[in-house]
Amino acid sequence: MKLDNVNKIAIVGTGMIGTSLAVLFTGHGYKTCLYALNAELAEESKNRYQEYYQELIQKGLVTDAQAAICEKYLSYTTSYADIADADFVFECSLEDVKVKHEVYKELDKVLVAPKAVISTTSALSVEDLADGIDKFKDKLIVAHPFFPPHLVPFFEVVKSHATADGVTESAVELLESADREVVVLKKNAPGFIANRLQHALFREAINIVEQGIADARSVDKAAKYSFMPRYTSIGIFEHLDNSGVDLNYNIENYLFKDLSAADKAPKLICDLMEQGAYGVKAGRGIYDWSDVDMDDFKSRISAPYWSYFNWELPEE
């Protein structure tokens, strides 16, 4: 439910994450102002914002009238002065520490009394980010989303050594009010939680293919039809306990030594890099994408997340 003490959310950056966050916050009745580098980028973002709402309408999750109400909470600016009074600022600029520090310099100049300045960085250390913010250093935290954050209902949050008491809590309260599930890390770590897990799985999946144990399609089939569906309703440690600590003790003692412990990108990935086979965007990666029905693929990407849509949409 919308928090009464939040009057304005600002988002710096109108790219993939910034625009999707605007969908989320306006969809919860928060006045949301996006800072864009120029009017053209603002226009592009607004079009994408409307496309996201069209998708929600087509799915029957939002009506035309509700989408129109949500859009009333949206505004764009190309001047930092217009976000001076924001309660929360989401910094969604490029994944480049220099660019983020430039943004923080501007925020330091204009912000009046933010409750939190929140970076959505994928991988940068919150401590490195904190080096580039001065007046509001104690307000900086990272809240890492997954794309698109209006659909994927999860953020992982980490604070720096300088974050003041209460800042993380107020950001968590805001995100939870927008129906997100949030975890707060006990300390900063590359990859936070979810990408550490995901990449541990990638490492072994690649290892299975490289060792000639199975091909990529078989690995994907094994994961999709065996253990993965379970983890949308129970957690990893819930499963560990359910299957038995004793059983897992025995398995780990003979299996772990056979799993990959690679400490850099494996050969399979390096070879694809050399060939320019970057995946979907290049038409070829692990798979050949040239004949794949991309509309079907995109709809399969979103499919598991529609069930999490439970927003209390603004009524006026």
Ligand X SMILES: NC(=O)c1ccc[n+]([C@@H]2O[C@H](COP(=O)([O-])OP(=O)(O)OC[C@H]3O[C@@H](n4cnc5c(N)ncnc54)[C@H](O)[C@@H]3O)[C@@H](O)[C@H]2O)c1
- State the residues that interact with ligand X by CB under 6 A: 12-18, 37, 41, 92-95, 99, 102-103, 120-122, 144-145, 147
Strands (E) across the chain are located at: 9-12, 32-35, 74-77, 88-91, 116-119, 140-145, 154-159, 181-184
How does strand 140-145 pair with strand 154-159? Answer: antiparallel
Whole-number Å distance between alpha carbons of 158 and 264: 25
Whole-number Å distance between alpha carbons of 51 and 53: 5
Instruction: Please report how close the Cβ of residue 45 comes to ligand X at its closest, in angstroms.
Output: 7
Residue 316 CB partners (closer than 8 Å, separation 6+): 69
Give the residue with the Cβ less far from ligand X, 10 or 41: 41
Give the residue with the Cβ less far from ligand X, 194 or 222: 194
Instruction: Please report how close the Cβ of residue 123 comes to ligand X at its closest, in angstroms.
Output: 7
Whole-number Å distance between alpha carbons of 111 and 205: 46
How does strand 32-35 pair with strand 88-91? Answer: unpaired
Instruction: Please report how close the Cβ of residue 111 comes to ligand X at its closest, in angstroms.
Output: 15
Instruction: Please report how close the Cβ of residue 129 comes to ligand X at its closest, in angstroms.
Output: 10
Give the residue with the Cβ less far from ligand X, 13 or 114: 13
Instruction: Please report how close the Cβ of residue 246 comes to ligand X at its closest, in angstroms.
Output: 38
Give the residue with the Cβ less far from ligand X, 18 or 153: 18
Q: Which residue is nearest to ligand X (CB)?
A: 15
Beta bridge partners of 88: 9, 116
Q: Could you give the C-alpha distances from 284 to 198, 206, 275, in angstroms and in order?
A: 21, 16, 10
Q: Is 18 exposed, middle or buried (0-12, 13-18, 19+ CB in 10 A)?
A: buried
Instruction: Please report how close the Cβ of residue 189 comes to ligand X at its closest, in angstroms.
Output: 16
Give the residue with the Cβ less far from ligand X, 98 or 264: 98
Give the residue with the Cβ less far from ligand X, 102 or 138: 102
